[in-house]
C-alpha cells in the first residue's frame, strides 16, 4: 500500500516498485484514510491481506514475524525463500487507485 504520496502517486508508486523489485498489487491511499483506520503511524509498514481482502496483520517487521504471518496466510508447509531483486521484479503487478472498504 502506498500512502501519503504527494504528486503523481501512480508514477511514484510504480517507480518505487520498479526500484525495489516489488511484485503484486499496490493500493494507493493518497488521503491516508486506510492507513489511519489500520493504525499506521509511519512508513514503511507491512500489511498482510488474506485471499478475501481482509487485513490479517499490520506492522510485522522482524524476520520471525514476517515468516509467521506469511505461514499463517499461505500454510505451515509453504517453502519460504527470500527472492533476489531480479525475481521479485519479474512480476510487477498493478497499481490500483482506491481504498478498500474491507479494512
Report the pLDDT averaged over residues 34-56. Answer: 86
Single pTM value for the model: 0.59
| Assigned domain for 60 exists | yes
63 domain residue, yes or no: yes
22: confidence class by pLDDT, cuts 50, 70, 90:
confident
Contact 84, 16 (CB under 8 A): no
- Is residue 86 one of the residues assigned to a domain? yes
Q: Give the residues across from 95 on adjacent strands.
A: 26
In a domain, 73, yes or no: yes
β partners of residue 102: none
**Sign of torsion, CA 45 77 54 20?**
positive
CB atoms within 10 A of CB 47: 20
- Report the percentage of the chain scoring pLDDT > 90: 0
Number of structural domains in the chain: 1
Give residue 97's pLDDT: 43
Q: Which pLDDT score is estimated for 102?
A: 43
Give the span between the Cα atoms of 42 and 85, in whole angstroms. Answer: 24
Q: Using DSSP bridges, classify how beta strands 47-49 and 55-58 pair: parallel, antiparallel or unpaired.
A: antiparallel
Percent of the chain with pLDDT over 70: 77
Cα 19 to Cα 86, 89, 92: the distances in Å are 11, 8, 11
Residue 28 domain-assigned? yes
Task: Of 17-21, 35-39, 89-93, give the lowest mean pLDDT range.
Answer: 89-93
Q: Which residue range forms the structural domain that includes residue 36?
A: 2-96
| 79-88 per-position pLDDT tens digit | 877 654 444 4
101 falls within a domain:
no
Amino acid at each position: 500500500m502506498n500512502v501519503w504520496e504527494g504528486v503523481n502517486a501512480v508514477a511514484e508508486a510504480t517507480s518505487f516498485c520498479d526500484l525495489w523489485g516489488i511484485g503484486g498489487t499496490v493500493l494507493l491511499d493518497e488521503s491516508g484514510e486506510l492507513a489511519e483506520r489500520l493504525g499506521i503511524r509511519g512508513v514503511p509498514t507491512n500489511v498482510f491481506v488474506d485471499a478475501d481482502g481482509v487485513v490479517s496483520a499490520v506492522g510485522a517487521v522482524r524476520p520471525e514475524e514476517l515468516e509467521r504471518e506469511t505461514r499463517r496466510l499461505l500454510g505451515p508447509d509453504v517453502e519460504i525463500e527470500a527472492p533476489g531483486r531480479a525475481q521479485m521484479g519479474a512480476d510487477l503487478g498493478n497499481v490500483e487507485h482506491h481504498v478498500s472498504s474491507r479494512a
